[in-house]
Structure 1
Amino acid sequence: MADSTPTPPRRKIWNYTPALPIKTAPYWDWPMKPLKSMKYLLQSWNPMAQRFLFLVVAFVVWTWFSPDLERAQTLSLDWMFEIWLRDLVIIMVVAGGLHLALWKHRTQQDEYRYDMRPMAKGAKIFYFKNQVWDNMFWTLGPALLFATLWESLMWYAFANGWATMISFDSNPVWFIALIVLIPVWAGFHFYWLHRLLHVGKLYTWVHAWHHKNINTGPWSGLAMHPVESFFLFFDTMIFFFLPANPVHVLFLIFHHVIGAPTSHAGFENIKLGKDAKFGLGDFYHQLHHKFFDCNYGTWETPWDEWFKTFHDGTDEGNDLVKERRRKIWSSK
């Protein structure tokens, strides 16, 4: 006789999700889909998209809030401190502002919020037994220091001719092309660094610090072991090999300095007034913090799909992750 016991409903994991299943960029589809790829690219550059914000901030910062390259011909703490102070202000405005608005004052309550769990308090796993204070310590300490270090090294290289500097007037095609390619490069670097940090002792000794944040907030994005934050900003070294403008360097750096706090904010959107909204969170990466061994990269790159670690956010995706874990553990 068949068992008539009803199947219990699945436990609701998320308070909010974007439209599911989530998808990666169509650049890597085969056969190629040039029209679909172009549409995706144009949508990703609309004025209400984060990468447009990163680029605008990069132009503003280079024009008004960066040391002259003549000063950067010699390494000096005075102009390097100016970079540190400027980035400190940016992080405080972005991460601090989002935390105050979304988590402390709850200006939009739980609308667009992924995970309903609060930031951890009284947890021994965090320094000061407080997730937010722990995250602020590692963000405003090592992460800010290494962001300053790598940016300063690039200004020093441009000023002394070790890196080739271009302008829009001298090379307009490459100037624009590089802006389009930088998000892909950022995703490439992030995937392979991140994947390496999930291996053996590198995870235990280094990356596990970041994964203390199962549920994330704006201060979680750059809260990591100093070794990880050192190599996170290492992707700027590509400009020793590619001709570029300081705007390109800042555009790439702000993928981390601004992008990490926003992508870890824990909310899909931030409300602007009654009806408008600004795309904020990264559910792709939120899934990684939740399930650990999936979505190592970004929407922009194909590696997770190619290596079978992609989670599309659906219940079926949850089952695939669990089955993969079962096979790994049974093989051990």
Structure 2
Amino acid sequence: MPDISPTCPFAFALQAWPAIWLGDLLRYLVPASFAALLIAGLPLAWRRRRQVRARGPLPGQRWREFGYSMVTVLIFSANGALIGAGAKAGVLRLYIDFARHGWPYAVASLAVLVVAHDAWFYWTHRLLHQRWLFRWTHHTHHRSLAPTPWAAYSFAPAEAVVQAVFLSAMLLVLPLHPAVILAFLTHMIVRNVLGHAGLELMPRTWLGGWWGRWLTTTLHHDMHHAFGRCNYGLYFTWWDRLCRTEHPAYRERLRQVVERMGGASASKEVPRGA
């Protein structure tokens, strides 16, 4: 029989898992619910100006997205419990004393996490689009041709595992504080919800400026759902631009959305060569 004393990493994981599961659940529910309610409550004319797709969600789609997201929450929370066990066993580099590295390191480690996760997502995303993997991994997510905020975690179990192990892998080499991990995971779900919102919620000046040039927009990911093999990026557009996987019509489509949002004068805000 395994040791299940309080000092055993396995026992620690079992004890910590319910709280971790609740945290992962709320981190999904709060932004997804907020976005869904916000979109439903916005004036119809405002929504039409910011709409990025012609079709709407299919009947029952939101419940399917929610159901798969619950499985993802379960997998993410199990990974979180294993991270706690790995840290207790001294395998993963989780530190509790914030003063050990200080604020500059915390900010820098968060930036490293975001940039590294964007690269991880881009390349694993392209891998999951390979025919021999797509059917039993990424196809679940792409059943939502017109995704809603509830699709943010709508993954097949295999894809959820691929995304979950990123944080564990980073903790093998990069010391991280729980507050940094929380900030990273919150950023991840908020950007995921925005990407599946179906309309641009960011300010027009952002979309026509630095956000539209370097960060992915709702339109960017919506075109991935519509066309498939393009626009693989999660947070930034640079991998798609470098590897020439950005949809050729994306920049012009973004220009049109910005124009609808702010009038003809906005047409100069998204340069054609951006």
TM class by shorter chain equals: 0.7 to 0.9
Deviation at 1:82, TM superposition (A): 1.5
Q: Give the TM-score, by structure 1 length.
A: 0.62
- How many residue pairs align between the two structures? 231
Cα pair distance change 1:71/1:270, threshold 3 Å: farther
Among 117, 129, 132, which residue is 2:62 paired with?
132
For 2:190 and 2:126, how far apart are their aligned partners in 1? 22
Contact 2:72–2:157, Cα closer than 8 Å, also in 1: yes
Deviations 1:249-268 (A, max 9, x none): 22333344443223211121
Contact 2:13–2:84, Cα closer than 8 Å, also in 1: no
Q: What's the counterpart of residue 144 of structure 2?
A: 213
1:195 and 2:130 correspond: no
Question: More helix per residue: 1 or 2?
Answer: 2
For 2:7 and 2:50, how far apart are their aligned partners in 1? 47
Q: What's the counterpart of residue 282 of structure 1?
A: 218
Contact 2:75–2:164, Cα closer than 8 Å, also in 1: yes
What pairs with 1:79-98 in structure 2 (closer than 5 Å)?
79-98=16-35
1:120 and 2:51 correspond: no
Among 75, 85, 95, which residue is 1:146 paired with?
75
For 2:12 and 2:139, how far apart are their aligned partners in 1? 34
1:235 and 2:172 correspond: no
Contact 1:138–1:222, Cα closer than 8 Å, also in 2: yes
Deviation at 1:150, TM superposition (A): 1.6
For 1:101 and 1:316, how far apart are their aligned partners in 2? 24
Fraction of identical pairs, as percent: 25
The one-letter amino acid paired with 1:296 is: Y
The one-letter amino acid paired with 1:240 is: L
Q: What's the counterpart of residue 263 of structure 2?
A: none
Contact 2:92–2:172, Cα closer than 8 Å, also in 1: yes
For 1:258 and 1:150, how far apart are their aligned partners in 2? 20
Gaps of 5+ in 2: 1-5, 204-210, 255-274
For 2:51 and 2:7, how far apart are their aligned partners in 1? 46
Q: What's the counterpart of residue 165 of structure 1?
A: 94
The one-letter amino acid paired with 1:263 is: G
For 1:281 and 1:292, how far apart are their aligned partners in 2? 16
Deviation at 1:76, TM superposition (A): 4.6
Q: Give the TM-score, by structure 2 length.
A: 0.74
Q: What's the counterpart of residue 107 of structure 1?
A: 42
Greater shift, 205-214 or 296-305, is seen at 296-305
Greater shift, 252-261 or 84-93, is seen at 252-261
Deviation at 1:189, TM superposition (A): 0.8
Contact 1:147–1:257, Cα closer than 8 Å, also in 2: no
Deviations 1:223-247 (A, max 9, x none): 1211111111211021122112112
Alpha-carbon RMSD: 2.8
What pairs with 1:257-268 in structure 2 (closer than 5 Å)?
257-268=189-200
- Larger Rg over CA atoms: 1
1:251 and 2:206 correspond: no
The one-letter amino acid paired with 1:181 is: V
The one-letter amino acid paired with 2:42 is: T
Among 214, 217, 232, which residue is 1:296 paired with?
232
Deviation at 1:174, TM superposition (A): 2.6
Query: 3-state DSSP class of the match of 1:261?
Result: helix
Deviation at 1:80, TM superposition (A): 0.7
For 1:230 and 1:108, how far apart are their aligned partners in 2? 39
Q: What's the counterpart of residue 54 of structure 1?
A: none
Contact 2:14–2:81, Cα closer than 8 Å, also in 1: no
Contact 2:13–2:82, Cα closer than 8 Å, also in 1: no
The one-letter amino acid paired with 1:295 is: N
Deviation at 1:118, TM superposition (A): 2.0
Deviation at 1:139, TM superposition (A): 0.5
Contact 2:137–2:156, Cα closer than 8 Å, also in 1: yes
Cα pair distance change 1:164/1:284, threshold 3 Å: same
Contact 1:294–1:310, Cα closer than 8 Å, also in 2: yes
Q: What's the counterpart of residue 244 of structure 2?
A: 308
Deviations 1:273-331 (A, max 9, x none): xxxxxx995322222112211111245363222222113614599xxxxxxxxxxxxxx
1:175 and 2:106 correspond: yes
1:75 and 2:6 correspond: no
For 1:93 and 1:76, how far apart are their aligned partners in 2? 25
Contact 1:207–1:224, Cα closer than 8 Å, also in 2: yes
The one-letter amino acid paired with 1:232 is: Q
